[in-house]
Amino acid sequence: MTKTGFGRWSVVLSLTVGVLGYAACGNDESLGAVATNTGNGGSSGTGGSAGTGGAGGSSPDGGPLLEADCDPIGNFCGFPFPSNVYVRDDPSGKNPSGKRVQFGAATLPKTGGTTPISPELFYGLDGFSPASAPMTYLPGATATGLPTPLQIASTLGNTSPTILLDAESGELVPHWIDVDQNAKADDQRSVMMHPAVLLENKRRYIVAFRRIVDAAGTAIPAPPAFAALRDGTESTEPSVASRRSSYADIFAKLAAAGVDKADLQIAWDFTTGSRESITGPIIAVRDAALAAVGSDGPEFTLKSVTENPNPEILRRLVITMKAPLFLESATYTGGGPVPALELDATGKPVQNGTMDVDVLIQVPNSVATAGKHGLLQNGHGLFGSKEEGQNGYLAKMANGYHWITLAVDLFGFAEGDIGLAAEGLTTRPEVLPGFFARQIQGHVNQLVAMRLMMGRVARDGIKLESGAFGLDPAWIDGTLRAYRGDSQGGIMGGTYMAISTDVTRGLLGEPGTPYSVLLNRSKDSVVYNGLLRDTYKDDRNVQILWSLIQLHWDRTEPSGFVPFINRNMLPGTPQHEVLLHDALGDHQVTTLGAHIVARAVGAKLLKSNDAAKPVVRDVFGLEQAATPLSGGSAIVEWDFNLAPEPLTNTPPSDGCDPHDRVRVLTPAYQQQNEFFRTGTFKWFCNGLCNCDSANEELGCPESFASQCM
């Protein structure tokens, strides 16, 4: 079975080993066996000199909060993360909030145990991720008494052992805690706080941990520097004096929320990036691209024609469009210059010619009898391609429900980008911002492909060399447009549905955000975490790395965009609505990520038509609603009779992986089609949407036979 979802991470990492010559299990002379990174650990955490301009935010007198590269309250260099000690005034004047993220020269994990990741990679960011998972290291910490994903509501009370406080509103933010179970050694387990909602932009938050105990049930002592800040005692640590005023404010705000400082083991603050900083680049490129192609969309040429490629499809066309290019180069050679957006003197993205982008179009047999068809754009799985589903679910959707489908490779996150991703994750972290710059171009390619289809193709059709229509404009209803995607297509579809000006309804299948949460709970984590562990020498570094990557990923993935799908929309962008489908027990994309998206868009948890059991489970923060439901967004959870999902940051493993099974079930087709056409959510399952021996929905046995046997 071809892997179209998160399972392709195995391919990425296999190619990492082969293409880059990286030895995950080599001898002492291999990169995989470089000596332990002593500069990124230890209890003092004060080694290293200050980076350019010094690491750390400013104290009230204008001096740095932290002179050294490593914060002594974190017990490990880089912790606690994220932190305002690493936010400074932006000397360039380019960052929207006037701030920049500025780590020290030796703060960040060391590639191969030798070279710290450069702090300059983050100077263009004016704050931390709105999907940040605040984390630190408390030696010997266990999860005893800490809130799990089933106890999120408990964190809204000030008696919770862990506190996430909005310093502006004074409100507590719901969350759960992971004590890293992906770590191979007990002394490398990060304590991670996962907000159950996306945080506000340009907002200060305060994190506080207390009553965390070791395996014997003994409270873990506070790091000495933090204890001095908390208790007002003397300290020889230089940063204590510079931070007393800052911590007076932190403790005062916690006290106002009913949280006493006496038993705190650690507390700190951080500030999220501005909306403009995160969303501005892609919106600027989108607007310039759509202005360049106009209402017709880009020009194109016919590349190939395949007649009757499967029983559902009359004709498959591949056209090559001239998409506006906003990168310095559309190609990347391993080891070459870092991919980057083409910018003018003011830092604004500008067009740099065009790039050829293939668009795959499927014309179903139903055009002969069913009248005009809508336009349905498909988003492919992780590091996949536009061909996904062309002979399967997408063909069935096209013919059975009267859609002409289109798809492009998500440039920057498609099969051809595996090498770049592997290079950035292992040997050359400086290319990672380029990985995301290419994804900005990829999102724009998707948008101009739809503009082309609804514009010149809907008007003029596509003619074959013979002069006959390969796609007759009489078959197209250019006013009926929708998006659907699964796995990566459902995840990155959250961004598409926040920025599209032409598509306002979409299906997000197996969705979620942020990637730093999803990847921690994917079955493939064993492989890629192992490779990162060999590169960065410590599982605490691995967690820091995922959070660092998230800072750039926000500019392309849903963490930076889904709050603006249907509220507080981005400039020049209409309101959108989405339908979410997730699968309980998914081994690859945790449903916790889908819930974060659902809360961000205000989705209703749809009830079944079975009054005795209307939903599979209650979900924190989601209002339940009966169908039919008109307007708004909604989520449906599909049950495959599997064991409950783990409460730790480990993937489900029970039974057959239900990932990608929902999309081939008849009720799923019916529900999305109704929503696309009318904006109304209806119930098409027989009772709960489940696949078990007592209630086998249409398509369940077939999907089990094809994916599980």
User: pLDDT (tens digit, 9 = 90+) per residue, 541-572?
Assistant: 999 999 999 999 999 999 999 999 999 999 99
CA 222 to chain centre: 33
Beta bridge partners of 406: 361, 377
Cα(66)–Cα(283) distance, rounded to whole angstroms?
A: 35
Integer Cα distance of 172 and 497 in angstroms:
29
| 370 is a domain residue | no
The answer to whether 325 and 441 have CB atoms below 8 angstroms apart is yes
Residue 543: count other Cβ atoms within 10 Å of its Cβ: 32
DSSP string, 434-460: HHHHHHHHHHHHHHHHHHHIIIIIHHH
Q: Is residue 159 a contact partner of residue 172, using CB atoms and an 8 Å limit? A: no
Q: Is residue 681 part of a domain?
A: no
Average of pLDDT values for 405-431? 93
The long-range contacts involving 1-5, CB below 8 angstroms and separated by at least 24 positions, are 1/706, 1/707, 3/381, 4/380, 4/381, 4/382, 4/384, 4/388, 4/389, 4/486, 4/487, 4/660, 5/381, 5/382, 5/486, 5/487, 5/488, 5/510, 5/588, 5/589, 5/659, 5/660
Taking only the tens place, the pLDDT of each residue in 367-405 is: 999 999 999 999 999 999 999 999 999 999 999 999 999
What percent of the chain shows pLDDT beyond 70?
Answer: 91
Residue 195 lies in a domain: yes
Q: CB atoms < 10 A from the CB of 346, how many? A: 7
At 693 the pLDDT is: 65
In our burial notation (b when 16+ CB lie closer than 10 A, e otherwise), range 210-240 reads bbbbeeeeeebebbbbbbbbbeeeebebebb
- When divided into structural domains, the chain yields a total of 1
Please give the share of the chain, as a percent, with pLDDT higher than 90: 82
**What's the predicted TM-score (pTM) here?**
0.93
Residue 56, in any domain of the structure: yes
Q: CA nearest 76: which of 135, 127, 146? A: 135
pLDDT tens, residue by residue, 301-335: 999 999 999 999 999 999 999 999 999 999 998 88
C-alpha to C-alpha distance for 327 and 420, rounded to whole angstroms:
15
User: Domain for residue 524, yes or no?
Assistant: no
234 found inside a domain:
yes
Q: Confirm whether 289 is domain-assigned.
A: no
Q: What is the pLDDT of residues 7-23, one digit of tens each?
A: 554 544 444 444 333 32
Domain annotation covers residue 161: yes
Residue 25 C-beta-side C-alpha neighbours within 13 Å: 3
If one counts every other C-beta atom within 10 angstroms of the C-beta of residue 59, the result is 18
249: containing domain:
36-131+133-271
pLDDT in tens, 673-708: 999 999 999 999 999 999 876 677 889 988 888 888
Question: pLDDT digit string (tens) for 60-85?
Answer: 555 678 888 999 999 999 999 999 99
Contact status, residue 80 vs residue 45, Cβ threshold 8 Å: no
3-state secondary structure of 579: strand
